[in-house]
Copies of this chain bind each other. A is one copy, B any other.
Amino acid sequence: MNELLNATHDPKLRSWVASANGAETDFPIQNLPFGSYSEGPQGARKIGVAIGDQVLDLRATGLVNTADMNELMAQSPQVLSALRAAISQGLSEGSTKQGEWKGFLSGQDAVTLHLPCRIGDYTDFYTGIHHATTVGKLFRPDAPLLPNYKWVPIGYHGRASSIGVSGQAFHRPLGQTKGPNEEVPVLRPSHRLDYELELGVLVGQGNALGEPIGMEQAEAHAFGMVLLNDWSARDVQAWEYQPLGPFLAKNFASTISPWIVTLEALAPFRAPFAHPESDPQPLPYLDSPANRNQGGIGVALEVWLETQAMRDKGQGPERLSQSNFLDAYWTVAQMLTHHTVNGCNLQPGDLLGSGTLSGPKPEQAGSLLELSLGGKKVLTLANGETRTFLEDGDAVILRASCERSGFRRIGFGDCRGQVLPARAQAAAR
C-alpha cells in the first residue's frame, strides 16, 4: 500500500504470547508500543514493550542497553526500525527466543506503569478545526474561526510538570472565577471542569537551536503517539486567558496513556491529506508531496465517562462521543515543522498535543464545553444522571484504535483520569 510498510505489519503474524492473538487486544504483535514500568511502585524503571496483556522487559532481551526511554527515543528511525523488527521476530510464533524471552514477561496488571518518558517541554496545538469552530461560535457566532486559523498551526506552551500517566486522580482545582452577575472575582472550586480529547506526539530525535526541521524530515523526529486528556477549567479560563492564553485553567493536571504507539506501527493507517480547495493551501514550508500523499493518520477516538454512581452500581462506563484524527486540520509533520521554523529546538520526550479532536457532527465533540453548548444543554446519561460539566468522582477514559481492511487492528490502551473533590479552601491560604 505504501512505502512505509514492512514485514512487521503483516496481518498474518502471530505471537507465542497467546493474549496478543485475541481479537480484542490493543497490543497485537503488529503494534509493539513502548512504555516505562517497574515491579511495584518503587522498583527500578524499565523500558517495556506491550504484547497482549503482557509487558516485555526490553533491556533483558539484550536488544538495547539502556533503561532510559529518552535515550531510546533519541535514536535514529533506522535504528528504531531495526529494533522493532528484532522485537517482532523474537515475539513471533516459532521464534527461537521464546524460551529465553518468556522469562522477561510480566502481566501488565501486575506492574506499575509510569509516564513513558521525561517530558521536557509540552506544547499544545489547536488542530481540531471542528472544536475551534464550535468553541469560536460560543464567543463569535458570526466569525467562529479567526483569520489566522487556516494559515498557522496555532499552538501554545503547556505545563510539563503536572502531566501524569493514565490512572491519575486530581483534586478539582480552585481558581479565580467571575460570574456574569458578579462585580468582583472569587476564589473557589471550578464548577465548569472539562476534559479534552487529544492525541499527543512524543518527539524522538531533537534538533539544534536555530536549525529548523523541514517537512521532508519532520516525521523522522516523531517517536510515536499517545492519548492526551487536557483537563480544562472553563470558568477559570474565561476570566484569566486574555491576553496571553490559558494558564491555571489547564496546568493543574494533564493525563497521557502509558504506551507510545510508534509512527512505524501507525504506517498501515496513513491516508492522503489535503485541505478543501476552497481553503487556503499551506504555505510552501508546510507543504510536501509526502504530506499530501499520506500525511493523515486514521485514528478512531472515543471518550467514555464513568461516574461514581456507575461504579457503585457495577455499571460500566458510557461512551460520550467518537471522532477521528483524520478530521484535524494539520498533520504531525506540519506541527513539527511549524514548531521549529523559527529555530526553536525540540528535545527527545517533548510532547506536542493535537488540540481537542472533535468531529464535524455535534455529537462527535471532544469536550463537554461543546457537547453541552457551553453548559446550556444538559446531557442525560443512560442511567438517568445528567451532566453539563464534570462532577466529583467522575472518571474519563479516552480510547483510540486504528483499523483498516487487510491489516491487524491496533489500539492505544486506556487513558484514564479521575476528578477528586476540591481540597478545603483553607489549604490554599
Chain A residues in the interface with B (C-beta under 8 A): 120-121, 123-124, 126, 146, 148, 151-152, 154-162, 164, 170-171, 173-176, 178, 184-187, 209-212, 214-215, 233, 236, 239-248, 251-253, 280, 283-285, 338-339, 341-347, 350, 423, 427-429
Contact = CB atoms under 8 A, between A and B. Distances in A.
Contacts of A171: 210, 343
A208 to B, nearest CB: 11
Contacts of A161: 120-121, 209, 344-347, 350
Nearest to A160: B121
Contacts of A346: 161
A210 B120 contact: no
A240 B170 contact: no
29 contacts: A121-B159, A123-B247, A152-B240, A156-B247, A157-B159, A157-B247, A157-B251, A159-B344, A162-B345, A164-B209, A170-B343, A174-B212, A174-B342, A175-B342, A176-B283, A185-B283, A186-B283, A187-B341, A210-B252, A210-B423, A212-B427, A214-B428, A236-B342, A245-B246, A252-B342, A252-B343, A252-B344, A285-B429, A341-B428
Contact of A162 (B155, B178, B209, B427): B209
A86 B283 CA distance: 60
A161 B160 CA distance: 12
Given A175-B342, A252-B343, 4 more contacts: A156-B244, A161-B345, A176-B283, A210-B423
